Chain A
Amino acid sequence: MHTALAALIFVVTLIVIVVRPRQINEAWAAAVGAVLMVATGVVSPSAAASSIGSEWNLFLFFLGLMLTAAVADMAGFFDWAAGLAAAAARGSGRRLLFNVFVLGAVITTFLSNDATAIILTPVVYTIATRLRLRVMPYLFAVSFMANAASMTLPISNPINVLTGDRLHAPLAAYEGHLLLASLASIAITTAVLMAFFWRSAAGRFEFDWRSAVQSAVGDRAFFMATVAGLGLLAVAYIVGSALLWPLGVVAIVGGAALAGLAGARRRLSREHLSTHISPPLFIYIAALFVLVRGVQDAGITPALVADAVSRASDAGSAVMAGLVGSAVASNLINNLPAVLVFISGADAGGVPAALHTPFLFGALAGADLGPNLTPVGALSTMLWLVIVRRRGVQVSAWDFLKIGALVAPLTLVAAAVLVAASFR
């Protein structure tokens, strides 16, 4: 009875989260699902509290990330970086496209895919529009690179932090398994999109670097201090990853220090903070932990994962099982609940001990790269396609499908081969 109830609440909640009827906020949908899990006795209140409390590292990481991104945005860092990419392109639309890939990869690596997708995307859109270039190539570049580069460091994707807490892998081990796969993913994504948009990006533009910097960087001293702070934070992340410090603590200390700097320069803006710090996101994440705890305690996630890994006999096949499973699941539901299901199942004994680590590395890679695999059916994207078609915009929607169908399988295959090879 509990099993059926847990499954029902979980599935219905996920459907509401993905489909978003009446534009309902995902956080509230997830919260209702979590409350139902507790109210029906599937999850005890103490188990719910413990499943949320034990993930304090991830919550701190998100908060630190948001503060850091907010201050960097306030200082004009993203506008400056996009301007640098434009200046370095020397008037060539194609060179600018390549530079946007590089920029997206660097921002994702050190500030996470969140910062790239959410902050860099509109900045690049604005600059491409202002330069009278066709915007779609640059939009696609940022969107795809946000996922493609998100395996590079543990801090490049909050999913890595979540999985890393289970793996207890120091930085050297992490990079030993994932660095080559990440570089391959970045290279493949860049090559495919450059080829696809070769003609579209063939524009020329004039760009005034000096006036762009002046308008981007209002307070030069604040900007320089912020850049220095970001550099120190990047070093702290790398050292912290190497020494297995909780990255959430590093993130919150760094983010708070940057916010303090902004406050001291009287640059702290409520508008910026409120748009970058999203309380509903914390509710969403907390609710997901309770939801997954419910299906875990009902034995569903261990069974699901055991089924996924049943044919795996060695580390390489365990990597494949984790990668394929989480990539598919990430496109059906958001990649955060997908990877939570896989972690929960692995932790609850669904994966043999010898295969636990390769399985989780595979699941991490699939959850990071999988969201580019849109043709498999990310429902939110499908709904977007329907809306866009009604407005007569056909080309870009089909282009998105074509690109996703090409890029994602190539990067997933490369990652599967390289991560599996790293366990030999």
Chain B
Amino acid sequence: MLVDGFDTEGLFGSLERMLRIRESELLLVFVRRTGPRRGLELAPRRPGGHELPPHRERELADAEITGGTQALAEAEQVASRMAARVESRQLDGDPGRVVCELAKAERADVVAVRGTGHDRPPVGPGSLGPIARFIVDHSPCPVLLLRDGG
């Protein structure tokens, strides 16, 4: 299950309605994406060279880890009420690729992911976010797409 830190209760509520997870083992995954960090390069770069100061790098890394840890802790709290066994992992990289590789390595039965992308219509063409679409295309096992309010 790919955890993104948003509307955790709603997401797991949808999962519980779709699958019998009472006797299942859930592996919760939070992936720290490299994309938003690259967005820092949107800031006009001062000609002559100016990398991020070391103390800012440390703060950024700490914030990313803290954010992921909190998202997973919240997800674990909700999931542990529903599933028999819950394990969580925080990883780095492209979320779609990481989840597919992990699903293959762990021989997962199902990959569950939020289907709706950010800034996308709730239904219809274009509603599927790029991460969910990648997982649908590349997952080694069945994929469960969870929609908000579904």
Contacts and interface: CB of A to CB of B under 8 A. Distances in A.
Contact of B66 (A73, A113, A130): A130
Interface in B34-77: 34-36, 38-56, 59-60, 63-64, 66-67, 70-71
A271 B39 CA distance: 24
Nearest to A27: B48
B67 A132 contact: yes
Contacts of B47: 17, 26-27, 30, 281, 284, 334, 336
B131 to A, nearest CB: 9
Interface in A307-325: none
Contacts of B134: 392
Nearest to B94: A392
B61 to A, nearest CB: 9
A102 interface: no
Contacts of B48: 25-27, 278-284
Nearest to A130: B63
Contacts of A26: 47-49
Given A26-B48, A129-B60, A135 B42 contact: no
Contacts of A118: 43-44, 46, 50
Contacts of A388: 35, 38
B54 A271 contact: yes
A121 B70 CA distance: 23
Q: Majority SS of interface residues in chain A?
A: helix
Contact of A146 (B44, B49, B56, B60): B44
A27 B49 CA distance: 8
A361 to B, nearest CB: 22
A140 B39 CA distance: 9
A136 B50 CA distance: 21
A143 B42 contact: yes
B107 interface: no
A280 B38 contact: no
Contact of A380 (B45, B66, B96, B119): B45
Interface residues of A, number: 59
Interface in A63-121: 73, 113-114, 117-118, 121
A396 interface: yes
A25 B47 CA distance: 8
B78 to A, nearest CB: 15
B53 A271 contact: yes
A336 B41 CA distance: 19
Contact of A139 (B36, B51, B54, B70): B36
A143 B63 contact: no
B5 interface: yes
A126 interface: yes
A325 B44 CA distance: 20
Contacts of A131: 67
B73 to A, nearest CB: 11
A206 B117 CA distance: 24
B49 A200 contact: no
Contact of A391 (B34, B55, B71, B118): B34
A335 to B, nearest CB: 9
Contacts of A392: 94, 96, 130, 134
Interface of B: 5-6, 34-36, 38-56, 59-60, 63-64, 66-67, 70-71, 94, 96, 117-119, 130, 134
Given A122-B43, A122-B59, A125-B36, 18 more contacts: A25-B48, A25-B49, A27-B49, A117-B44, A121-B42, A129-B36, A129-B63, A132-B6, A132-B71, A140-B42, A143-B43, A272-B53, A278-B49, A280-B48, A384-B42, A392-B94, A393-B38, A395-B117
Interface of A: 17, 25-27, 30, 73, 113-114, 117-118, 121-123, 125-127, 129-132, 134-136, 139-140, 142-143, 146-147, 197, 199-200, 203, 271-272, 275-276, 278-284, 334, 336, 371, 380, 384, 387-388, 391-396, 399-400
